Amino acid sequence: MEFNKARNIIGLRVLSDNVIWLWVKDKSVVVVDPSVHTPVIRYLDENNLHLKAILQTHHHSDHIGGTKSLIERWPNVKVIASSKEKKRIPFQNVSVEDGETLNILGEEVKIIEVLGHTSSHIAFFLNGKNPVLFIGDTLFSGGCGRIFEGTYQQMYSSLERIKSLPKKYSHILCT
């Protein structure tokens, strides 16, 4: 399933209710929250693509479960996660903090801390002509994510932060 043709973002449905997002540019791919590895490897192999980076919104196994196998296949891949998650996402090799901006696949990606679901959840905001927000488990079409480690106030503040972003989103994509 392809969701954003302008940015070439593809969703792979996995497990019972997860989506692994693939952001494809030329022959390079960024994978967001790979809960499993097999469909990602299959898609990349079938389309002759190379994995450049993995974006991890938070530490839950249905978001990081496939990461280790992807690292085995692509040992030089950048694994980008919150610096607060070094213990629970120990394979990260690029640690980020709220407000940082990265250049990924030649595009600006802003890190936005969205606490509540977990105590260190982050989102990745691709700004520009066709903005996209990879939001993990903070927001869904039917409401917000469950509060596991954070507080209701943190979740409310996170939703307010999302609301304050530019209104010209192409998509808000949860995993």
Backbone angles phi and psi of 137, in degrees to 5: -110, 25
Predicted pLDDT at 129:
74
pLDDT tens for the chain, residues 1 to 175: 545 455 689 999 998 878 899 999 999 999 999 999 999 999 999 999 999 999 999 888 888 999 999 999 999 999 999 999 999 999 999 999 999 999 999 999 999 999 887 788 899 998 877 788 898 777 655 555 667 788 888 878 887 888 887 766 545 555 5
Cα 110 to Cα 25, 47, 124, 154, distances in angstroms? 18, 28, 6, 20
Burial annotation 81-115 (CB, 10 A radius, 16+ → b, else e): bbebbeebbeebeeebebeeebebbeeebbbbbbb
CB 49 within 8 A of CB 32: no
Question: What are 116's two structure tokens?
Answer: 């509540």
Closest CA to 69 of 41, 32, 31: 41
Q: What is the pLDDT of residue 135?
A: 87
What's the predicted TM-score (pTM) here? 0.87
Number of domains in the chain: 1
The domain that contains 14 carries what CATH number? Answer: 3.60.15.10
Structural domain boundaries, residue 60: 2-174
